[in-house]
């Protein structure tokens, strides 16, 4: 597409009296344009292994919170679901909450992550893996992208509340592996 655009721009320049550019120059400019564009884009984090299709337990002594948000446009509301499990897969807590606000999908996911942090803290958990199916939320919390403006404050709050934990990490899972949290949402 960049080459086609550059050809079109060159043709218009020639029609308006500019000197034509060589094919090598046009291709070089197109490559430079694409490289510059890619350099300023947020890239999703790549994992060495594919995402697990199902839930996997955390390491011994750590708890995992699976998180999901759902949007109910017809009711102008959203739902959040959180499941806390230990390293053996035992459910130690669950949260299902309705938010009476017309949130979008990303906003619902961010609010669900915030609820998971507060719920885990209130349950007395100190070592946690936070796992959700929103790649945008996960990438921001891992520090690999900037937060969209609509959820920046909520996600900054999530990062603030992490100071109450001894250890934490974020994990992204496919939607099929996050079904229990989704059903709660």
How many C-alpha atoms does 4 have within 13 Å on its Cβ side? 1
- Give the tens place of pLDDT for each residue, 82-111: 999 999 999 999 999 999 998 999 999 999
Structure tokens at 184: 């709660």
Q: Parallel, antiparallel, or unpaired for β 167-172 and 63-72?
A: unpaired
Sheet strands (E) in 44-165: 63-72, 77-85, 91-99, 127-132
Task: Identify the three-state secondary structure at position 180.
Answer: helix
Q: Are 78 and 107 in contact (CB under 8 A)?
A: yes
Mean pLDDT for the chain overall: 87
User: What are the tens digits of pLDDT across the range 127-163?
Assistant: 999 999 999 998 888 888 888 888 989 989 998 999 9
31-41 mean pLDDT: 70
Report CA-CA distances (Å) from 44 to 89, 137, 162, 184: 29, 11, 23, 27
Which residues are within 8 A (CB) of 73 and not within 5 positions of it... i.e. 6 or more apart?
102
Q: Which domains does the chain have, with CATH numbers?
A: 2-39 (no CATH), 63-184 (3.30.420.10)
């Amino acid at each position: 597409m960049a080459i086609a655009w550059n050809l079109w721009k060159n043709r218009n320049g020639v029609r308006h009296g500019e000197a034509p550019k060589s094919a090598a120059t046009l291709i070089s400019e197109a490559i430079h344009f694409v490289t510059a564009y890619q350099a300023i884009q947020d890239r999703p984090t790549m994992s060495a292994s594919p995402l697990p299709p199902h839930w996997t337990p955390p390491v011994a002594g750590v708890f995992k919170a699976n998180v999901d948000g759902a949007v109910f446009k017809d009711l102008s509301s959203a739902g959040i679901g959180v499941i806390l499990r230990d390293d053996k897969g035992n459910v130690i807590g669950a949260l299902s909450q309705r938010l009476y606000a017309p949130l979008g999908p990303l906003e619902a996911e961010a609010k669900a992550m915030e609820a998971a942090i507060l719920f885990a803290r209130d349950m007395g958990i100190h070592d946690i893996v936070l796992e959700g199916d929103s790649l945008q939320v996960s990438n921001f919390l891992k520090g690999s992208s900037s937060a969209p403006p609509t959820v920046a404050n909520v996600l900054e709050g999530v990062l603030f509340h992490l100071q109450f934990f001894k250890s934490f990490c974020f994990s992204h899972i496919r939607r099929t592996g996050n079904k229990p949290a989704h059903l709660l949402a």
